[in-house]
């Protein structure tokens, strides 16, 4: 076992982790930062983001408008103090990236260009063609290299947090290349480990998105907030789940059913009961568009593919020049994976699990209830996304709250005296090491990791998909509890230390099961429909009982308990979510009244 003494450990080298590490280094170059990541930084999921990052920059836009879109998009489950801070800080963070070298696409006058995005009523999404995440991550990665206080531990898989007497003490990790176990002793830890979409069978998420950091914080005693809210993105490629960015619709793409009809005009995009005349059409928010797909499928209006039902994304009318300039990656992906060149033919697409609104409970400073423990990025719920995240808010969230986590953790590490806990922390670290080593000692292999994982993922899709009801969620809870019990029957086939992916798969599965259980139990208890959580047996939003964050608490081998926390409302009382024609009519009425 190797011990590394550091001031701050950051778990994750994606957008949030690198932004946080830079913020620590800028705040105090004297603080040692250890960035622990299970993959090389540029392989983090942030690299896959295509569409762009939201921030007010246009003359016709305002912070109030970005706030309103975010809060109504989140079906009023967002904490409004966090959203206010977020929209105000967003443009500064995007300009900061520009100064660090991010090649944003430009207008003919040379200003950063913006594109429309679903649920954003004004064009405010900054983009770098359709490779925005790649350029953002690359910019952060390059910038992080200039700080000697940042030391990276690439391909180190963290397994558990060390917590003593309500204060974080470090993190345990396995060096993947050698199998050696490392204990990072730190005054503060920032979890920036990304989402966990891989708990579902069909997702846009990279293979590494197994919710490890969420599970680590959860086991350490931090509640997971709003886990029932799982976002389906309406345009994934059948089979692979590869995303075709919302930028496709932002640039003017159509969604059509098997008869070539732009079916979104038939949906008001309300909850379970669709009403006609949706003028927002393809630029409605993701939850509503995915729900409209479900209704089209029920009506038999979808196209049948070997990988399930689909509709068509039609980009042909945009023309080859625009597709090549604005959506080159989309053309590549559709041609390579579907043999469908969008310049010539419509591309089959279907809703696919994309993002988890829920995550590690933090306050507005990215602080968790454990002293010295911070979280930012997709693994955290701060919470600006509420019941449904708007496309392009996540990349900006990484910057705003990654920066904030870094600055606050630096402050904490500077102020914190040295805790007198060496013996207890060492004993705890030893326990974790033994837990890992015990897996090497298990002889009989009664279960297969991949099979248990498939059972879990299918159960989640069945019970916690686009539409849910009591009986199916209950069945999912039971299946997950059963699969959790069966993980005790897993043993290693590969007993070597070097690049032992067999070991990592078991540890990932255990993490996934814990967060899957939090998703299912939070969904079971929320007896209303809000944002991405739509219940066929409770179709209305219920602000009296459920204008609250759910908080799932870890209970070891038992099922989690769920209680609730009030949502912070500062200036926007809960109202109706309006898009397209209805939103325009309301704006006109308000103008006339003024
Ligand atoms: C295909 C796709 C396209 C998207 N497009 C957009 C978009 O256009 N606009 C937008 O706003 N959002 C978009 N999103 C969402 C957004 O990209 C993500 O939410 C965001 O990038 C997550 O960043 P992160 O830093 O929190 O995590 P990630 O970038 O996922 O990084 C997680 C890091 O944690 C590390 N890690 C995880 N587990 C462990 C462990 N056990 N031990 C050590 N390290 C660990 C990983 O190695 C990695 O470095 C998209 C998402 C996807 C999947």
What average pLDDT does this structure show over 441-445? 85
- Residue range 131-163, pLDDT digits in tens: 999 999 999 999 999 999 999 999 999 999 999
CB-ligand 1 contact for 11 (6 Å cutoff): yes
Architecture of domain 236-351 in this structure: Alpha-Beta Complex (3.90)
CB-ligand 1 contact for 17 (6 Å cutoff): yes
CB-ligand 1 contact for 22 (6 Å cutoff): no
| Percent with pLDDT over 90 in the chain | 87
Which two three-digit tokens encode residue 313?
């994304």
C-alpha span between 145 and 22 (Å, rounded): 9
CB-ligand 1 contact for 184 (6 Å cutoff): no
| CA proximity to 496, closest of 201, 83, 178 | 178
Q: What is the pLDDT of residue 270?
A: 44
Cα-Cα-Cα-Cα dihedral sign, residues 409, 54, 292, 455:
negative
Domain range annotation of the chain? 2-229+357-427, 236-351
Cα 20 to averaged position of ligand 1 atoms, centre (Å): 14
- Residue range 371-385, pLDDT digits in tens: 999 999 999 999 999
- Take atom 44 of ligand 1 and give the residue whose Cα is closest: 37
Q: Which atom of ligand 1 is nearest to the CA of 19?
A: 25
Q: What is the pLDDT of residue 576?
A: 84
Pocket test for ligand 1, best of 93, 246, 378 (most atoms within 8 A of CB): 378
Pocket test for ligand 1, best of 53, 105, 133, 152 (most atoms within 8 A of CB): 133
Task: Say yes or no to pLDDT of 294 above 90.
Answer: yes
List active site positions: 233, 249
CB-ligand 1 contact for 125 (6 Å cutoff): no
Q: What is the pLDDT of residue 417?
A: 75
Alpha helical stretches, state H, 153-272: 212-219, 247-250
Q: What is the pLDDT of residue 147?
A: 98
Average model confidence (pLDDT) for the chain?
Answer: 94
Q: What is the pLDDT of residue 421?
A: 83
Task: Say yes or no to pLDDT of 276 above 60.
Answer: no
**At 284, is the pLDDT very low, low, confident or very high (cuts 50, 70, 90)?**
confident
- Taking the chain, what is the end-to-end CA distance rounded to the nearest angstrom? 69
- Residue range 75-91, pLDDT digits in tens: 999 999 999 999 999 99
Q: What is the pLDDT of residue 23?
A: 98
Q: Give the strand pairing for 114-115 and 53-54.
A: unpaired
Give me the residues paired with residue 162 across strands: 170
Q: What is the pLDDT of residue 29?
A: 97
CB-ligand 1 contact for 39 (6 Å cutoff): yes
Long-range contacts from 257-263, C-beta under 8 angstroms, 24+ separation: 257/296, 257/301, 257/302, 257/303, 257/311, 257/312, 258/301, 258/302, 258/303, 258/311, 259/301, 260/312, 261/301, 263/292, 263/296, 263/301, 263/311
**At 281, is the pLDDT very low, low, confident or very high (cuts 50, 70, 90)?**
confident
Alpha helical stretches, state H, 499-580: 501-525, 543-546
- CB within 8 A of 348, min separation 6: which ones? 237, 238, 303, 305, 310, 311, 312, 313, 338, 340
Q: Which atom of ligand 1 is nearest to the CA of 137?
A: 29
Cα 378 to averaged position of ligand 1 atoms, centre (Å): 7
CB-ligand 1 contact for 509 (6 Å cutoff): no
What average pLDDT does this structure show over 389-414? 97
Helix (H, G, I), strand (E, B), or coil: what is residue 203?
strand
Which two three-digit tokens encode residue 281?
């059409």
Q: Is 99 exposed, middle or buried (0-12, 13-18, 19+ CB in 10 A)?
A: exposed
**At 317, is the pLDDT very low, low, confident or very high (cuts 50, 70, 90)?**
very high
Task: Say yes or no to pLDDT of 461 above 80.
Answer: yes
Q: What is the pLDDT of residue 274?
A: 44
Task: Say yes or no to pLDDT of 593 above 60.
Answer: no
Query: At residue 214, what are phi and psi to the nearest 5 degrees?
Result: -60, -45
User: Domain spanning 2-229+357-427: which CATH class is it, in words?
Assistant: alpha beta
Q: What is the pLDDT of residue 582?
A: 60
CB-ligand 1 contact for 52 (6 Å cutoff): yes
- Residue range 499-511, pLDDT digits in tens: 999 999 999 999 9
Cα 532 to averaged position of ligand 1 atoms, centre (Å): 20
Can you give the pTM of this predicted structure? 0.95
């Amino acid at each position: 076992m190797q011990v590394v003494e550091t001031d701050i450990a950051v778990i994750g080298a994606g957008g949030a982790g690198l932004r946080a590490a830079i913020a620590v280094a800028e705040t105090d170059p004297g603080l040692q930062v250890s960035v622990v990541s299970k993959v090389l930084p540029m392989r983090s999921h942030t690299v896959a983001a295509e569409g762009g990052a939201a921030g007010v920059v246009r003359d016709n836009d305002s912070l109030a408008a970005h706030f309103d879109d975010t809060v109504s998009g989140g079906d009023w489950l967002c904490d409004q103090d966090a959203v206010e801070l977020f929209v105000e800080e967003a443009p500064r963070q995007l300009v900061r990236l520009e100064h660090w070298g991010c090649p944003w696409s430009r207008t003919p006058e040379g200003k950063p260009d913006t594109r429309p995005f679903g649920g954003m009523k004004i064009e405010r999404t900054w983009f770098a063609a359709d490779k925005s995440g790649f350029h953002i991550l690359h910019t952060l990665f390059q910038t992080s290299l200039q700080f000697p206080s940042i030391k990276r531990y690439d391909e180190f898989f963290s397994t558990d947090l060390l917590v003593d007497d309500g204060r974080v003490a470090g993190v345990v990790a396995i060096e993947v290349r050698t199998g050696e176990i490392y204990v990072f002793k730190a005054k503060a830890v920032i979890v920036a480990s990304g989402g966990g979409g891989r708990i579902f069978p069909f997702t846009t998420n990279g293979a590494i998105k197994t919710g490890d950091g969420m599970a680590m914080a959860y086991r350490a005693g931090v509640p997971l907030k709003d886990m029932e809210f799982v976002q389906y993105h309406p345009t994934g490629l059948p089979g692979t789940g590869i995303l075709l960015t919302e930028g496709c619709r932002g640039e003017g793409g159509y969604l059509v059913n098997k008869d070539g009809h732009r079916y979104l005009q038939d949906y008001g995009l309300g909850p379970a009961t669709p009403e006609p005349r949706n003028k927002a059409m393809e630029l409605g928010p993701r939850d509503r568009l995915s729900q409209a797909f479900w209704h089209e499928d029920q009506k038999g209006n979808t196209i049948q593919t070997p990988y399930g039902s689909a509709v068509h994304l039609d980009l042909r009318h945009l023309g080859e020049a625009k597709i090549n300039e604005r959506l080159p990656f989309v053309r590549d992906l559709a041609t390579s994976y579907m043999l469908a060149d969008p310049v010539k033919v419509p591309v089959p697409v279907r809703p696919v699990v994309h993002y988890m609104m829920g995550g590690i409970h933090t306050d507005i400073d990215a602080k968790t209830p454990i002293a010295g423990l911070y979280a930012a990025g997709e693994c955290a719920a701060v919470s600006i996304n509420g019941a449904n995240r708007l496309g392009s808010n996540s990349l900006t969230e990484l910057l705003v709250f990654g920066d904030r986590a870094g600055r606050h953790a630096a402050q904490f590490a500077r102020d914190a005296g040295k805790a007198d806990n060496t013996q207890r922390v060492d004993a705890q670290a030893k326990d974790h090491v033994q837990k890992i080593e015990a897996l090497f000692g298990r002889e009989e292999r009664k279960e297969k990791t991949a099979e248990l994982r498939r059972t879990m993922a299918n159960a989640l899709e069945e019970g916690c998909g686009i539409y849910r009801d009591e009986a199916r969620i209950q069945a999912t809870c039971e299946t997950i509890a059963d699969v959790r019990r069966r993980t005790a029957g897993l043993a290693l086939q590969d007993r070597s230390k070097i690049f032992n992916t067999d070991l990592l798969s078991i540890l990932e599965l255990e993490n996934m099961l814990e967060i899957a259980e939090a998703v299912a139990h939070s969904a079971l208890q929320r007896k209303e429909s809000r944002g991405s959580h739509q219940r066929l047996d409770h179709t209305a939003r219920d602000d009296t009982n459920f204008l609250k964050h759910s908080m799932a608490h870890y209970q070891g081998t038992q099922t989690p308990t769920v209680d609730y926390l009030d949502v912070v409302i500062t200036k926007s009382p809960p109202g109706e979510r309006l898009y397209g024609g209805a939103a325009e009519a309301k704006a006109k009425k308000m103008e006339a009244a003024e």
